[in-house]
Amino acid sequence: MPVHRSGTARRPRTAAAGILLSSLSALALLLTLPGAATATAAGTARTAAATGTAGSADGKPERGSARMGMGVVEHDGQGGPPRDTRVTQTEGVDVSSHQGNVNWSSLWTSGVKWAYVKATEGNYYKNPYFGQQYNGSYNVGMIRGAYHFGTPNDSRGANQANYFVDNGGGWSRDGRTLPGVLDIEWNPYGAQCYGKTQSGMVAWIRDFLTTYKARTGRDAVIYTATSWWKDCTGNYGGFGSVNPLWIARYNTTVGELPAGWGVQTMWQYTSTGPIVGDHNKFNGALDRVQALARG
C-alpha cells in the first residue's frame, strides 16, 4: 500500500532548524549584553596574570608577570650545567606567581636550603602567591627573602623601594630572612633599558638602593645579567663594594661579571631545574647564607 508523504512529515526538520536559529540568536544577544564579554575576558586575564602565562595582543607578557631571568635565554643563550668546583655551593631557588603553590617539602628534601620569592613589581603588582611561597619556604626550614622586579619607566626608584618594603620586602633580624633583592634586567614589556640613558639608569638604581637601606638598615642585593648591565648602565662599577651581586647566566661558569664585582654572591644557573625551574648556587657553604641573613 503506498505511503502518503505529506508536508506533515517534513515539519520536524523545519521546527528543529527554527529552534537552532532561535538559540543562536539568543546566544548572540547574550554576548552583546553590557559587561558579558568583559567579565569573561577579565576572569581569563586574572587567571593568566596570577600564573604568569598571560599575554597581550602585541605578544608581550601581561604586566605583573615578569620574573627573574625571563630574558636570559633570549639575550644570552643557554649552555651546559655548572662545572664542579672546589668551592662549596649551597643550592637555592627563586619563585614567583609563575610557579603557583610550591611543594617546599620536596625542595627541602632535594637539598635546597634557601629561597627568594617575588613580592612586587613596579608600583602596581603584588604576587598573589607570596604568602604560600614566602612562609612555606620558611616553615620547612629554609632561609628566605623577597625580591622586587624593577620597572624604572613607571616611577622613581624610591617609590618602588617603598612599595617593595610595604608589601613583603622588609627585613628582620631573625637569622632566617635575607636582605631584599632588586631584580633589574631586560624589560619584558618594551625597550630593554626602559627608556633610560645609562646615567639615568644608574641614578634610578641608586635611588632604589638608598631608600631600601634607609627603610630596612640593609644593603639590597642586585640581581642582573652582565650583558644587560653593560648596555643599560654603561658597566657602572660603583655598587660592587656595598651591594651583593646575584648574577644570571645559564652556562657552565658564571662568566664575566659586571664592573665593580670581583665575585658573585649568588648565581642563577638554570630556569629548568627540578620542581620549580629556577635554581641557583650560593657562593659558599650554608653558614655563609646564614651570615648574609644575619647582616
27-69 pLDDT, tens per residue?
A: 443 334 444 333 333 333 334 444 444 565 667 889 998 887 7
What total of structural domains would you count in the chain?
Answer: 2
Q: Which domain holds residue 176?
A: 72-294
Could you tell me the pTM of the whole model?
0.80
Choosing from 76, 94, 219, 278, which is the catalytic residue? 94
Active site residue 185: yes
88-142 tens-digit pLDDT: 999 999 999 999 999 999 999 999 999 999 999 999 999 999 999 999 999 999 9
Please check whether residue 122 lies inside any domain of the structure: yes
Instruction: Please check whether residues 142 and 14 belong to one and the same domain.
Output: no
| Pairwise CA distance, residues 98 & 86, whole Å | 34
Choosing from 62, 76, 185, 219, which is the catalytic residue? 185
The pLDDT of residue 162 is 98
Q: State mean pLDDT over 2-15.
A: 41
| Pairwise CA distance, residues 176 & 105, whole Å | 17
Please check whether residue 56 lies inside any domain of the structure: no
| Pairwise CA distance, residues 158 & 196, whole Å | 16
178-226 tens-digit pLDDT: 999 999 999 999 999 999 999 999 999 999 999 999 999 999 999 999 9
Instruction: Please check whether residues 215 and 269 belong to one and the same domain.
Output: yes
Helix crossing, 198-216 with 226-233: angle to 10°? 110
The pLDDT of residue 216 is 98
Instruction: Please check whether residues 147 and 29 belong to one and the same domain.
Output: no
Phi-psi region of 59 (alpha: psi -120 to 50; beta: other; left: phi over 0): left
pLDDT at 2 over 60: no
Instruction: Please check whether residues 105 and 36 belong to one and the same domain.
Output: no
The pLDDT of residue 57 is 62
Choosing from 76, 183, 219, 278, which is the catalytic residue? 183
Instruction: Please check whether residues 238 and 189 belong to one and the same domain.
Output: yes
Strand partners, 224: 247
Instruction: Please check whether residues 108 and 210 belong to one and the same domain.
Output: yes
Instruction: Please check whether residues 212 and 271 belong to one and the same domain.
Output: yes
> Could you tell me the CATH number of the domain that includes residue 78?
3.20.20.80
Instruction: Please check whether residues 195 and 260 belong to one and the same domain.
Output: yes
Please check whether residue 96 lies inside any domain of the structure: yes
Instruction: Please check whether residues 42 and 158 belong to one and the same domain.
Output: no
